Amino acid sequence: MNMNSLPGKCLSVVIPCYNEGETIFQILEEVLAQDSVGEVILVDDYSKDNCVEIISSFTDSRITLLKNSQNLGKGASVALGIKSATKTYLVIQDADLEYSPADYSKLLALLISDQADVVYGSRFINSQGQETDRAWHKLGNFFLTKASNLFTGLDLTDMETCYKMIKLDFAKKLNIQEKRFGIEPEITAKLARMGARIVEVPISYTARPYSQGKKITWRDGFAALYCIIKYRFARL
C-alpha cells in the first residue's frame, strides 16, 4: 500500500506521561503533525512538574487531557487512555523522544491492508536508531522477548517495544491489570490468546539514559518475567 494514500484521522494515540515537561511539547508537535492522527489522549499520572501546563497550552481540538488523582503507573494510565479511545486504530506513544511518530505510517499500512490485527514496531530488526541503551538493558529485552515467545508461541524480536499499534476492537478487550511496565508482556500474552495476528516492522529508536529520566529498572525486568508466566495462564 502506498503510504501517501493512507486514510487520515483514523488513529487514536494514547500518551501516558509523568514529569515529562522537558519533552512533552516536542512529542506532541510530532504526533499532531501525522496525517493519520484523529485524536490524542494524554493521561497525566500526577506529574509534579509543568507537564500539564504545557499540554494545556495546545489548542488542537484532537487533544484530550485526562488526569490521575494520584500516581498510579504507566499501565493504569494506558488502560484509562484505551477506555477513552474512539478511532479505528490505536497506538501507545511514550512522552519522551525515544520513538518517532514518523513511523506511524509504516505500522498503519499493515492494519489498513488487513495483513495484521496488531503491528509491533521493533527496535531490533534493521534498526536505524542510535543504539545508546545500556548493554544489560538490551540483554534484558532479548531475554524477556524470548521468554514471552516461549509462553505465547509467537516469534517476536521486541516484545517490550512501546509501539504496539492495535485495531481498536482488540485494544478494548485487553482489560489491562498491570500498573507499571508489566503491561508489555500482559498485552502481548492477551493478544496472543485472542488469536490476534501480530506482525513486526522496523522502527527508528534513540534511547535516553537514566540521567535524562529513563524509568525502567532491573526490578521491572523481574516483574515482567512474572507477568509473562502469569498472563499465559490467567483467564482472559
Residue 189 has a CB neighbour count (10 Å cut-off) of: 24
CATH 3.40.50.10470 corresponds to the domain 9-233: no
Q: CA-CA distance, 197 to 179, in Å (whole number)?
A: 25
144-149: list long-range contacts, CB under 8 Å, 24+ apart: 144/185, 144/221, 144/224, 144/225, 144/228, 147/225, 147/228, 148/185, 148/188, 148/189, 148/228
CA distance 2 to 233: 40
Say which residues have a Cβ less than 8 Å from residue 211's Cβ, sequence separation at least 6.
Answer: none
Q: What is the pLDDT of residue 5?
A: 61
pLDDT tens string for the chain (236 positions)? 666 667 789 999 999 999 999 999 999 999 999 999 999 999 999 999 999 999 999 999 999 999 999 999 999 999 999 999 999 999 999 999 999 999 999 999 999 999 999 999 999 987 554 444 455 568 888 999 999 999 999 999 999 999 999 999 999 999 999 998 899 999 999 999 999 999 999 999 998 665 555 556 656 777 888 898 899 877 65
- Its pTM stands at 0.90
